[in-house]
Structure 1
Amino acid sequence: MTEPVVDLTDPVAMRAYAHPLRISLVGLLRREGPMTATQAANRLGENVPNCSFHLRQLAKYGLVERAEGADARERPWRATALMTRWGRESDDAETRAAVDQLDAVIIRRFYERAMTWLAGRADDPPEWRAVTGPGDDLAYLTAEELAELSQRIDALFEAYRPRRTDPSLRPPGARTVHVSYYVTTIDQQP
């Protein structure tokens, strides 16, 4: 199954997305489905005009769109895709700078999410504490091998992705689990 993906290639679009509230709004709509700016503001602890402005900005770049409302007064938004990718392979200096900016925002969010989890880990049952936490590994790979490894990791998640949008597929006891990883090189090759 191929999921809908938004591919950001324009540096202006990447910079527009690289805003913490905008990333939160897109994530919220992906997790919980269509909602109004008022509903999103309540869930995120933000004010309605701020959420409304940022949703309109996200719509300019194809990340969200208007959804069907229950009546003419309700104006919900929905995410246009379940995933977003951006042009890391570009050689254009402006695009590389925008990619770096967006990657920095994402890595900061991963860190903040991990620290929030860590602060509450003691309250988790032992079976959850046993299977959560940091980890890392080291391998000597070519760029082609690393691409293959990334595809294999992505394929492992394929069986669980339908649960994102269909709660009836979630087994009893299932929790929202965020697996984040980023790949870096330790040594720079010429």
Structure 2
Amino acid sequence: MTEQRPREITDVDTLRAFTHPLRLRILNAVGLHGPLTATEVSERVGESPANCSWHLRQLAKYGFVADAGGGTGRQRPWRLVTDGHRWGDGDESPELARAGDAAARVLLDLEYRKLWDWMAARRQDSPAWRDAGFFNQFIGWYTAEEMAGLRDEIRALFARHLARLDDPGSRPPGSRPVRMVAWGVPEVER
């Protein structure tokens, strides 16, 4: 398997298009249940088909979804573009830095909500799924090179089953969507 390189977002408009709250819900629906038409997306996110269709076209304009083929207009199915994303290399413009920080905040808030949803509901799940779920916390000493290597290993682990988002037929029986979040940040001395 070739290494999946995340898409580098280098402009504010693309970043804002990606982190719009409704568009994140649409991306989540298409990623978990797609390909979907605007009408099918609307049923999942609680918005009108016309509004979802407009937002899907905006997401397509910025490369986050693509036409899955087999329809037109609101009956056109859309699929998630699963290339991964990154932004903020430290040399970006102040405007992109602010937009990137806001985007990270929106995405982390979403993932925190999903973590708390799981924490609240996990005891009602089957023992196999309840016991498979996890979150870890760890502090270690690394060089910058070791930390970069760890980042690359984690990206490779996450990407191992990325094709299952695009191809529902490749999902094994009994599989479920699983949210994965990882970060490794150097301690800030105070």
TM-score for the superposition, normalised by structure 2: 0.84
Partner residue, 1:27 = 28
Structure 1 Cα separation of the partners of residues 179 and 109 of structure 2: 15
Question: 1:87 is matched with which residue?
Answer: 87
1:69 matched residue in structure 2: 70
Amino acid corresponding to residue 37 of structure 1 in structure 2: A
**Partner SS, residue 34 of structure 1:** coil
Partner residue in 2 for 1:52: 53
Q: Secondary structure at the match of 2:155?
A: helix
Tell me the CA shift for residue 95 of structure 1.
1.3
1:37·1:55 contact (CA, 8 Å) conserved in 2?
yes
Cα RMSD for the two superposed structures: 2.5
Distance of 2:129 and 2:73 partners within structure 1? 44
Q: What fraction of aligned residue pairs are identical, expressed as a percent?
A: 37
Unaligned runs of 5+ in 2: none
Residue in 2 that maps onto 1:133: 134
Residue 187 in 1 paired to residue 185 in 2? no
Q: TM-score scaled to structure 1, two decimals?
A: 0.84
Task: Check 1:28–1:7 CA distance in 2 against 1; reply closer, same or farther (3 A cut).
Answer: farther
Given the superposition, is the C-alpha separation of residues 128 and 34 from structure 1 closer, same or farther in structure 2, using an over 3 Å criterion? Answer: closer
Matches for 1:29-178 after TM superposition, within 5 Å: 29-70=30-71, 74-79=75-80, 81-91=81-91, 92-178=93-179
- Counterpart-to-counterpart distance in 2, 1:167 and 1:62: 21
Closer/same/farther in 2, CA of residues 150 and 38 from structure 1, 3 Å limit: same
Report the count of equivalent residues: 188
8 Å CA contact retained: 1:15, 1:101: no
